[in-house]
Structure 1
């Protein structure tokens, strides 16, 4: 009789948000909500030639990240929930579409790791990791690593701040 009662108590504690551990990593739902909160136009500190726009679509179930240049759309990454992960599908100017999935992490950071890819042609590189860090001043730092046949390349890093007209 004690064992079923302890099991029920353990299930209650695990399921109760009020009793949840404060140090638990953000859930996929929390990560997705963070990404959705970035809706709008962002400037890129490293270049004036690029702006990044986040747009919520599909009844709030999808966030589209568009890279825009003076010559038009450069690339796009689409975020959505899939079970216990946020999936980021990157539509690369090279023509391939890697899918990355969010990893458990700490507050203020969302890291994605390679899951699979479509449309990869011989000799092309592809997005392999993606990391978002949210700073206390409201800026975002986007770090990405591409992988080729020779292995992972050097990280590319972009600092985003909300465009003033937003």
Structure 2
């Protein structure tokens, strides 16, 4: 009987040691979005009316030997904020390099169903701490369709932007290859 228990315990320990953390699962889902995307942005505040229904281009590129994901968002005539996604031990983090002149960090969590990764605010560094990106949510529809929801804090007012994105190019196109 001891002979049977020992291999069983070793097998359970072996598979447990290689089980993916939720942070790694979330990061892998985001990396699967590598490519070129396009979609319209909608917002819920009159102060952000200038971007309402603008065509947004998003490029996601896995970099640094798979250890980071670069997210670049562009629209006509504006600077392009970038966001870096990365693992920090057992946490999925993002740092958003904002055109407001600061760098908010957020921690991501995968939903129980695996359809969304939602990022909660941790802290912000930089010159403008009263206006900053505060929350983000990525929803996976299928391999060529996802949505992004971003909340920007404008003082005490939350401005919500929703972008419905369709894939227009692959990861090789995102890397300029």
TM-score grouping bracket, smaller chain normalisation: 0.7 to 0.9
Distance 2:169 2:89 in 1: 36
Deviation, 1:35, is 0.8
5+ residue gaps, structure 2: 42-52
Alpha-carbon separation, structure 1, partners of 2:147 and 2:119: 14
**For the residues of structure 1 that align with 2:150 and 2:38, how far apart are their CA atoms?**
17
**CA contact 1:42–1:161 (8 Å) conserved in 2:** yes
Distance 1:143 1:14, change over 3 A: farther
- More displaced, 76-85 or 138-147? 138-147
Q: Taking CA–CA contacts closer than 8 Å with sequence separation of 6 or more, which of the two structures ends up with the larger relative contact order?
A: 2
Q: 1:164 to 1:60 in 2, by over 3 A?
A: closer
Q: Structure 2: how far apart are the matches of 1:69 and 1:154?
A: 18
Summarize the alignment of residues 115-130 of structure 1 with structure 2, pairs less than 5 Å apart.
115-121=122-128, 124-130=130-136
The 3-state SS of whatever aligns with 1:33 is helix
Give ranges in structure 1 of 5+ residues lacking alignment. 21-25
Residues 76-115 of structure 1: matches in 2 within 5 Å?
A: 76-106=82-112, 107-115=114-122
In structure 1, the residue corresponding to 2:120 is in which secondary structure?
strand
Tell me the alpha carbon deviations over residues 129-155 of structure 1, each in whole angstroms, 9 at most, x when there is no partner. Answer: 1101111473111011122432x5142
| Matching residue within 28, 33, 38 for 1:38 | 33
Q: Secondary structure at the match of 1:103?
A: strand
Runs of at least 4 residues off by over 6 Å: none
Aligned-residue Cα RMSD (Å) equals 2.8
SS of equivalent to 2:148:
strand
